Each structure stands twice: as C-alpha cells, then as structure tokens.
Amino acid sequence: MPDDAPTTSVPAPSPGVTGAEDWRPHLGTDAERPAPTLPHLVFFEPRIPGNTGNAIRLAAVTGARLHLVEPLGFDLDEPKLRRAGLDYHDLAAMEVHADLEAALASMPEARVFAFTTKATTRHTDVEYRPGDVLLFGPEPTGLPDDVLAHARITDQVKIPMLPGRRSLNLTNSASIAIYEAWRQTGFAGGV
C-alpha cells in the first residue's frame, strides 16, 4: 500500500440504511476533529466483534479515539459488534486503517506504546500525553514480533497480572490503560 493511501472512516451503510438508522460511529473532516485530550486506542487486526463493540462504547464514554487496523476478523455490520456497543456508536470517534503504516501515518508525531505481556515497563510507569498511541494486538495472539520491533514503537508496556496467566481480554486491557491515562489528567472533562 502506498504511503499516501487514505485512511478510511467507517464504510458506507448497508443498502437500505440511511441517516438516523446508520448506527456506526462517524467522523467529521480533519478540520472538525477536536485536538486529542487522551491517547488514541489502536486495535491491530482485531478478530472478535464483541470486543470491538465494547471498545466503541469505551471510546464513547471516555472521549478517546478508536482506530482499527485491517484486516478485521469481522464485518463492521456484524450484529455482535452493534449489540456490544449498545446505543453508544454515534457517540464514539472511530477510524479504520488499511494497515499499521496508514494508522501510524495519521498520527505522525505520536509516541506509540505497544501493550504486551513480554514487556517490563508497567502501564502505570508511563506519563501519558494527549495524542499518544496505545497499541493492542489481536485477541488470540497479541502483537506479533514484527509490530513490537516497529521503528515507531516508543516503548513496550504491560499490565501486571498474577504469574501463570496468559493475558487479559483485549477491551479490558484497553479500558485499564485509557483510564490510567485519564486518571493522570484528573479525569479532565469527566463527571
């Protein structure tokens, strides 16, 4: 894919779906997007629609922007995705990117924190900034080694767990991370 490949927002609605019936998150133009107040959540090749639906809801309630990196393991019209996000889809900001390079190119100055059980730095040891990228891997495998070795990765971080446990659920991990970043701001804008 060329470096100048456009980032896509949510694809066009299914036939027969119009305006108010289209439940999927929407984006304005670049000029209409507010400056980030929280890090971006980036899901690399997510595979489970319910997890992504929950992440859409997480983005809606925190104000974080959710980025999905293709290929996705589901269709964005998947009923499980819609059900998990409940009625929060229109309150979330979400973008879909053709690949990791396109996603990172849309945030050229951002620090990128790759979440992995292989890390030694704890997620609470990072002083998060607005516009940082919190990068999470697909549900069954986590981030592959080539992504963890990407030149844009600022640091690899982990969420502590008891020994002998494989991993946390993808959206649970994203929730822990984004709430830590938000806590560091005093939950600015929250009630």
Annotated binding site for S-adenosyl-L-methionine: 137, 159, 167
Closest CA to 66 of 85, 87, 79: 85
List residues forming the annotated binding site: 137, 159, 167
In the numeric block, which tokens belong to residue 132?
């940082």
- Maximum CA extent, the chain: 51
CA–CA distance, 105 with 38 (Å, rounded to integer): 18
Q: Which residues contact 60 (CB under 8 A, 6 or more apart)?
A: 85, 88, 89, 91, 92
